[in-house]
Amino acid sequence: MITVPPDGDPATWARRLQLTRAAQWFAGNHGDPYALILRAETDDPTPYEQQVAAQPLFRSEQLDTWVTGDAALAREVLTDDRFGWLTRAGQRPAERTLPLAGTALDHGPEARRRLDALAGFGGPVLRADAAGARTRVVETTAVLLDGVGERFDLAVLARRLVAAVLADLLGVPAARRGRFAEALAAAGRTLDSRLCPQTVATALATVAATAELTDLLGEVPPPPSLSPSAGSGPSRPSAAGSWPPLPADDRTAAALALAVGTAEPAITLLCNAVGALLDRPGQWALLGGDLDRSAAVVEETLRCFPPVRLESRVAQQDVTLGGVFLPADSHLVVLVAMANRGPRAATAPSPDAFDPGGSRAPARDVVGLPQLAGAGPLIRLVVTTALRTLAEALPTLRRASGGVRWRRSPVLLGHARFPVARAESGEQRSDDRPALEEATRCAS
């Protein structure tokens, strides 16, 4: 497993990361709410998001970024082909000042369309259909629950669950699944690192993990109906349901984007959903009494507590947005949680705003799921099924103590620790070893 990229100077990368962190810190000290969001010093950035959402389009001068929490503008940015993930030169925004972010998600629009076509259920990458995937989630969750005590860390369980399910669905050989899970966890800061500089150790681990995942997924043999091809055109299943020969590089790239784009958002969404229910009296029991509510809970969690809170885009041409002219290659960031609240974005959300039984429908194109390689449907399926299984198996689940969020995690607000207990009362047997192992990964 490599520890540094094959070219470049680690000292230069470290200085750039430190200077970018200093620039965000400086801008925050001067009252820039977007910079304060990126500093990620709080578990709840809502006050800063509200400051941004007070106007349709906010300009962060020092960070050279346009930011919006407006629902209409967010929908336009996320659905209009005039906005993409990379610059016209094919680079991430601020790639020079935010190096070592991993390349799993660095694809232009043409490549994304090609990879998206490969990454659906029952395709050449994600080989099980939706029903088969649900069965794997249920079985894996049950096995993991059998191995924990009365007290356990939900974040650790979720991470193991998602890694095991992905390894199974992507066809990773059994002998390589341990390495796959470790590399997937090490690549977990990819989404955050695209906007927030990580520590040098975390950044190097992300690059190394991305390389190892690429190697591991490249070893996965194609399904029986496929064989490697040197071609590069988009493919579709034949009328008989089989797939024509596909480039091995495309299969690997699609699997890598699917794995990295699914893992941490799914872990975060599951913890967010469980936390939202446990923090509201009676809601967990209500789900246990009506397991079919799990889908509504997940949708409401996506609306209120999305696992991807910041979506980054780049103008592919000169464009006017909200009456403001933006030249090509302008960087825009969407505050997903604010946009999902619609007209209420500029007002403080009340604790009662989380209402899985309500009639509100989430803005499905602004929900805070990765807009890449089929990750969204897979995340919804995994989290909805896991939540249902947990509610059925653990009707008296409760928080055991305060959780810990990752630092430098403005995009995900990821969970480093989420201690829970099975029983209502009594002395609890604790196994903190997995939680402590995971907590050591939390960068300051």
335: domain CATH number is: 1.10.630.10
Three-state SS at 257? helix
Question: For residue 168, is it within any domain?
Answer: yes
- Among the listed ranges 4-13, 287-296, 400-409, which one has the minimum average pLDDT value? 4-13
Model pLDDT for residues 171-200, shown as the tens digit of each residue: 999 999 999 999 999 999 999 999 999 999
- Residue 362 placed within a domain: yes
Token pair belonging to 322: 């909200």
Residue 233 domain flag: no
Query: What does the pLDDT read at residue 424?
Result: 62
**What is the domain extent for residue 322?**
10-224+245-439
Q: Is residue 232 part of a domain?
A: no
On whether residue 295 sits in a domain, the answer given is: yes
Provide the 10 A C-beta neighbour count for residue 395: 14
Q: How confident is the model at residue 168 (pLDDT cuts 50, 70, 90)?
A: very high
Amino acid in position 149: G
Query: Is residue 236 in some structural domain?
Result: no
**Range 113-133 average pLDDT:** 91
Percent of the chain scoring above 70 in pLDDT: 83
How high is the pLDDT of residue 430? 42
Question: 104-113, 158-167, 204-213, 365-374 — which is least confidently predicted?
Answer: 365-374
What is residue 112's predicted lDDT score, i.e. its pLDDT?
87
Q: Which two tokens stand for residue 208?
A: 């190394």
Mean pLDDT of the residues in the chain: 87
Q: What is the average pLDDT across 371-381? A: 82
- pLDDT for residue 350: 59
Query: Which tens digits make up the pLDDT trace of 203-248?
Result: 999 999 999 999 999 999 987 665 444 343 444 554 445 566 677 7
> CA 60, CA 328: separation in Å to the nearest integer?
17
Q: What does the pLDDT read at residue 94?
A: 85
Structurally, the chain folds into a number of domains equal to 1
Long-range contacts of 158-161 (CB under 8 A, 24+ apart): 158/266, 158/267, 158/270, 158/271, 158/386, 158/415, 158/418, 159/185, 159/263, 159/267, 159/438, 161/137, 161/382, 161/386
**Model confidence at 129: pLDDT above 90:** yes
**Mean pLDDT, residues 37-57:** 95
- Using the predicted structure, report yes or no on whether residue 2 has a pLDDT greater than 60: no
> Is 235 contained in some domain?
no
Q: Is residue 120 part of a domain?
A: yes
> In sequence order, which residues have a C-beta less than 8 Å from that of residue 36 and are 6 or more positions away?
28, 45, 48
3-state helix, strand, coil in the chain (%, to 5): 50, 10, 40
pLDDT at 281: 93
Residue length of the chain = 444
